[in-house]
């Protein structure tokens, strides 16, 4: 007879197969992995790093295409770019969401609000054809084009919209003081 400590009763023992010995008499053999998990993680991380570096390097080396503007310091190629004269309504749309029109080549008119080429930009009031529809904008470009502007100068400029948050940022390709 055996005694159950939980129920505190005697339990009859029924003869049967012998219970296995504990601890096992034969040693347990565990096979070692062929490759350490740490090595696998390091190899995968290296491959991901190489792929990301290749993608970033490819994006940086790619030539600008489509509606993207040439860098500010680049010489303007006015013969290959078609600039569109914008109406007052079109200008209001551009001024409201300049990021949506990034890369658009347009012709704007305006007057200089703040002169000086500090920081590579000149603050102006620009817009379509009517003076009362003009809004603030920021002209950026080569100092040779913008460095001689003075307050209250009236101008017409061929520009590429490069975005902006509070005011449209316009990269100047050609400007005429009227």
- What phi, psi does 168 have (nearest 5°)? -60, 140
Alpha-carbon dihedral sign for residues 144, 148, 152, 153? negative
3-state secondary structure of 75: coil
Beta-bridge partners for 136 = 125
Which of 2.130.10.10, 3.40.50.2300, 3.30.2350.10, 2.40.50.140 is the CATH number of 84-177? 2.40.50.140
Tell me the pLDDT tens digit for each residue of 136-146: 888 888 888 88
Is residue 176 a contact partner of residue 117, using CB atoms and an 8 Å limit?
no
Is the pTM higher than 0.95?
Answer: no
Map out the domains of the chain as residue ranges: 84-177
Q: Which of 76, 68, 130 is nearest to 102 (CA)?
A: 68
Percent of the chain topping pLDDT 90: 3
How far, in Å, CA of 114 to CA of 98, rounded?
Answer: 21
Tell me the pLDDT tens digit for each residue of 91-110: 888 888 888 888 899 998 88
Residues 6+ apart with CB under 8 A from 2: 10, 11, 12, 13
pLDDT of residue 22: 59
């Amino acid at each position: 007879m055996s005694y159950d400590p939980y129920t505190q009763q005697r339990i009859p023992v029924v003869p049967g197969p012998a219970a296995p010995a504990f601890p096992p008499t034969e040693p347990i053999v565990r096979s070692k992995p062929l490759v350490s998990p740490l090595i696998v993680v390091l190899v995968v991380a290296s491959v991901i790093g190489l792929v990301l570096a290749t993608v970033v390097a490819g994006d940086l080396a790619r030539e600008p295409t489509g509606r993207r503007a040439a860098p500010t310091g680049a010489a303007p190629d006015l013969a290959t770019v078609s600039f569109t004269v914008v109406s007052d309504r079109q200008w209001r749309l551009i001024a409201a969401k300049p990021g949506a029109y990034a890369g658009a080549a347009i012709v704007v008119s305006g007057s200089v609000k703040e002169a000086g080429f500090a920081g590579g930009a000149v603050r102006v009031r620009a817009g379509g054809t009517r003076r009362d529809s003009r809004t603030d904008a920021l002209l950026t470009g080569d100092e040779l084009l913008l460095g001689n502007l003075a307050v209250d100068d009236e101008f017409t400029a061929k520009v590429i919209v490069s975005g902006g948050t509070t005011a449209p940022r316009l990269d100047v390709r050609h400007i005429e003081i009227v």
